[in-house]
Amino acid sequence: MPGFETWGAEERNEVNDVLNTGILMRYGFDGPRKNIWKAKDLENAICSTFGVPYAQLTSSGTSAITTAMAALGIGYGDEVIMPAFTFVASFEAVLSVGAIPVLVDVDDTLTLNPSAVKNAITSKTKCIMPVHMCGSMADMDALKTICDEHHLLLVEDACQSIGGTYHGKHLGTIGDAGTFSFDFVKTMTCGEGGVVLTNNRDVYTKCHGYTDHGHDHAGADRGADLHPFIGYNYRISELHAAVGLAQIKKLLDFLDIQRRNHTVLKNMLAEIPEISFRSIPDPQGDSCTFLSWFLPDQEMAVRVVNIMKEENILAGNFYWFDNNWHYIRKWDHLKNGITLNALSPDHKAAVMFQANKDFSASDAIMSRCISTAISLSWTEDQVKEKGKKLVGAVLKGLNN
Ligand SMILES: *Cc1c(COP(=O)(O)O)cnc(C)c1O
């Protein structure tokens, strides 16, 4: 799964270009940088790789979502519908612009359940944010139809699904804006970093300014830039962008390896009739970063997880139901509205109300689900070995 597994000479060479000039900043210093523009080059590579006209790099995936929200005018009083199964970053970004994360149930796609989304729409709803979790996609046709009917914005959190597609379009390029994360454990990495993708020039121009203190970037002299609006510093550095530039050139290879390893593992698990798999709205577009599978019930899932723990083969397998970072069940800080700085009382009350709703429909899915991360470094023998042990643990759990 993570691009860091392939760190090598390509990454070192790109970083050395930057170290040789010492210009670590992405803007300005036109003379001394000797025409080395890693962030610009990476943005261009992203546009051509993913088939999108505009890309704005950021310091992280979280700041990419924040930037997308701000550029689309999402803020005070607005509700953003998002799934109860995601990484904490998704709701952090919504909160950071002053909007209310409206968490709703997932279905067996492990992404937004379109009918749960419909039921959650109110007069305050401004945006639907599907999260393409674990390498695969939400039902984008259904969500797009809902957005069109209700005049809502569509923002894709594609941070975990770089390289995945839906009916031929790259995930992250379908909505009004989309985001990738290039943090250290993502499909391709910059060490830290992220990007906003959009087809809309105005949205891009706002992202460009917002991530650099609101600078309009209109002239050659940074110091003379005007500030049409207030921004922040969510810039990526040249060093980080250099790593990404090496990684994006390997992305197609990463995806090939993932698909190959994923197929071997899936075929082995599919021999067990009690196991079912995540449904995937467009199976051809799965980036195969994870293989996500279901046991018949929670009890069996817990038993299998415990056996995997005992047999020391749990590493790289995720039982999200018990996980602090990815599922509503353990987000006590959100449920209790614990922030370091005060929120407005209305905002806090709305956030807490949304986080404390009934998520039993998601529980019924997540309590049975295990996701196996697909490594880039496995040899074919190693995949088969992993698969054999996994199958052994499952059979032991089922026969108990
Ligand atoms: C990784 C991730 C992010 C953001 O990540 P950063 O670590 O801030 O780059 C956002 N959403 C999801 C679903 C993620 O997995």
Q: What is the pLDDT of residue 389?
A: 97
Q: How far apart are CA 155 and CA 82, in angstroms?
A: 10
Q: How crowded is the C-beta side of 58, counted as CA atoms within 13 Å?
A: 33
pLDDT, one tens digit per residue, over 237-252 is 999 999 999 999 999 9
Q: What is the pLDDT of residue 350?
A: 98
Q: What is the pLDDT of residue 25?
A: 98
| 3-class DSSP assignment, residue 198 | strand
Instruction: Yes or no: say if 173 and 155 are a contact pair by the CB < 8 Å rule.
Output: no
pLDDT at 325 > cutoff 90: yes
Q: How far apart are CA 294 and CA 300, in angstroms?
A: 10
pLDDT, one tens digit per residue, over 155-211 is 999 999 999 999 999 999 999 999 999 999 999 999 999 999 999 999 999 999 999
> Residues of 294-321 as b/e, b for ≥16 C-beta within 10 angstroms?
bbeeeebbbbbbebbeeeeebeebbbbb
H-type helices in the chain, by residue range? Answer: 9-21, 38-50, 61-71, 89-96, 114-120, 140-150, 201-210, 238-248, 251-269, 298-310, 332-335, 345-355, 360-366, 380-398
Q: What is the pLDDT of residue 1?
A: 61
The response to whether residue 354 sits with its C-beta less than 6 Å from ligand 1 reads no
Instruction: Yes or no: say if 194 and 62 are a contact pair by the CB < 8 Å rule.
Output: yes
Active-site residue identified among 38, 126, 186, 206: 186
252-399 CATH choice from 1.10.10.10, 2.40.160.20, 3.30.1130.10, 3.90.1150.10: 3.90.1150.10
pLDDT, one tens digit per residue, over 8-45 is 999 999 999 999 999 999 999 999 999 999 999 999 99
Atom of ligand 1 nearest to the CA of 65: 10
| 3-class DSSP assignment, residue 128 | strand
| Helical axes 9-21 vs 38-50, angle rounded to 10° | 140
pLDDT, one tens digit per residue, over 60-80 is 999 999 999 999 999 999 999
Q: Which of 257, 279, 275 is CA-nearest to residue 373?
A: 257
Is 186 one of the catalytic residues?
Answer: yes
3-251 CATH choice from 3.40.190.10, 3.40.50.970, 3.40.640.10, 3.30.980.10: 3.40.640.10
pLDDT, one tens digit per residue, over 95-110 is 999 999 999 999 999 9
The pairing of beta strand 169-170 with beta strand 165-166: antiparallel
Domain ranges within the chain, ordered by starting residue: 3-251, 252-399
Q: Whose CA is nearest to atom 5 of ligand 1?
A: 61
Which carries the bigger pLDDT value, residue 3 or residue 130? 130
pLDDT, one tens digit per residue, over 259-308 is 999 999 999 999 999 999 999 999 999 999 999 999 999 999 999 999 99
The response to whether residue 62 sits with its C-beta less than 6 Å from ligand 1 reads yes
pLDDT at 5 > cutoff 90: no
CATH fold match for the domains 3-251 and 252-399 = no
